[in-house]
């Protein structure tokens, strides 16, 4: 099951990106396509076969793992900016895209890279599972690496969650409320993913499912909101093709 989930995530993200190509070629909302493209890149790097090949091309030092984490940072940041603007959440927008939010992003990004550079080289692994065994120093630093990798995602998700839950309860079109609910589930799964990094060992096997689920929920939620916008535009234009949105 844990081997299937990354592929499911890749299919969902790549399908969303492909569906946005016609609109992007027309210059309509290219930011949404870029979000789906980043999510697809993260999904590719989350699959062992692709990860090992890409990391091998980068020297086999798990540089691809840091790249993966930074791509995820960028993806959730862009999602959060769209959500806070779309759902009218100025406080959450300031916490994420304002000076405080950008400072938090910079701190977590620098911390992630700094901790990685302090660690001894380890065998290339998509889950970074052999890094702790490479040296006692790695074993001591690994929790800090994961705290940086998951911490920013949890921060953004906690900032988004109130606005998403409020939108679920508001009198909005059903697809919009469904999209908000899916993204709220993604936010909750993201926070759970951070907690699982510091949980008892018997709970660790479910971490990949939770983390992949967070990506799928966020992406599916964005797709639902996008489809709701397309449907509303179709009604206004009396049948204009959705590919023109």
At 206 the pLDDT is 87
Q: What is the mean pLDDT of the chain?
A: 89
pLDDT over 90 for what percent of the chain?
A: 61
226 and 32 in contact (C-beta within 8 Å)?
yes
Whether the per-residue pLDDT at 238 is higher than 60: the answer is: no
Interatomic CA distance for residues 34 and 63, integer angstroms: 23
Count how many residues are written for the chain.
245
- Kindly state the average pLDDT of the residues 186-197: 92
Q: Say how many C-beta atoms besides its own lie within 10 A of residue 27's C-beta.
A: 7
What is the chain's Cα-based Rg? 19
Q: Which domain holds residue 47?
A: 4-244
pLDDT digits (tens, 9 = 90+) for 90-110: 999 999 999 999 999 999 999
Structural domains in the chain (count): 1
149 and 190 in contact (C-beta within 8 Å)?
no
Interatomic CA distance for residues 100 and 94, integer angstroms: 7
Confidence of residue 231 (pLDDT cuts 50, 70, 90): confident
Which whole-number Å values give the CA distances from 78 to 31, 156, 196, in the listed order?
Answer: 8, 11, 25
pTM of the complete model: 0.89
At 235 the pLDDT is 74
At 239 the pLDDT is 53
Whether the per-residue pLDDT at 244 is higher than 50: the answer is: no
Residue 143 C-alpha from the chain's centroid: 20
DSSP state of 59: T
**C-alpha angle 219-159-102 in degrees, rounded to nearest 5:** 95
- Kindly state the average pLDDT of the residues 1-16: 86
pLDDT over 70 for what percent of the chain?
A: 95
Q: Which residue has the higher pLDDT, 241 or 145?
A: 145
Whether the per-residue pLDDT at 236 is higher than 80: the answer is: no
Sorted by sequence, the CB contacts under 8 Å of residue 173 that are 6+ apart come out as 228, 231, 232
Whether the per-residue pLDDT at 64 is higher than 90: the answer is: yes
Interatomic CA distance for residues 40 and 44, integer angstroms: 6
């Amino acid at each position: 099951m844990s081997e299937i989930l990354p592929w499911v995530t890749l299919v969902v993200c790549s399908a969303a990106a492909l569906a946005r190509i016609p609109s992007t070629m027309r210059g309509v909302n290219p930011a949404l396509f870029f979000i789906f493209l980043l999510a697809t890149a993260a999904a590719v790097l989350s699959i062992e076969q692709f990860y090992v090949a890409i990391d091998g091309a980068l020297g086999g030092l798990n540089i691809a793992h840091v790249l993966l984490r930074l791509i995820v940072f960028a993806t959730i940041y862009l999602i959060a900016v769209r959500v806070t603007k779309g759902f009218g959440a100025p406080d959450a927008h300031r916490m994420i895209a304002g000076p405080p939010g950008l400072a938090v992003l910079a701190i977590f990004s620098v911390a992630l890279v700094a901790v990685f550079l302090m660690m001894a080289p380890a065998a290339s692994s998509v889950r970074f599972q052999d890094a702790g065994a490479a040296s006692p120093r790695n074993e001591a630093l690994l929790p800090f690496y994961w705290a940086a990798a998951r911490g920013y995602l949890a921060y953004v998700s906690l900032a988004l969650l109130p606005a998403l839950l409020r939108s679920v309860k508001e009198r909005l079109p059903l697809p919009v409320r469904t999209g908000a609910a899916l993204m709220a589930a993604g936010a909750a799964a993201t926070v759970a993913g951070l907690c699982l990094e510091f949980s008892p060992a018997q709970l660790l096997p479910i971490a990949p499912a939770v983390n992949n689920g967070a990506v799928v929920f966020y992406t599916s939620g964005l797709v639902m909101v996008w489809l709701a916008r397309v449907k509303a535009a179709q009604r206004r234009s009396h049948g204009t093709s959705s590919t023109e949105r």
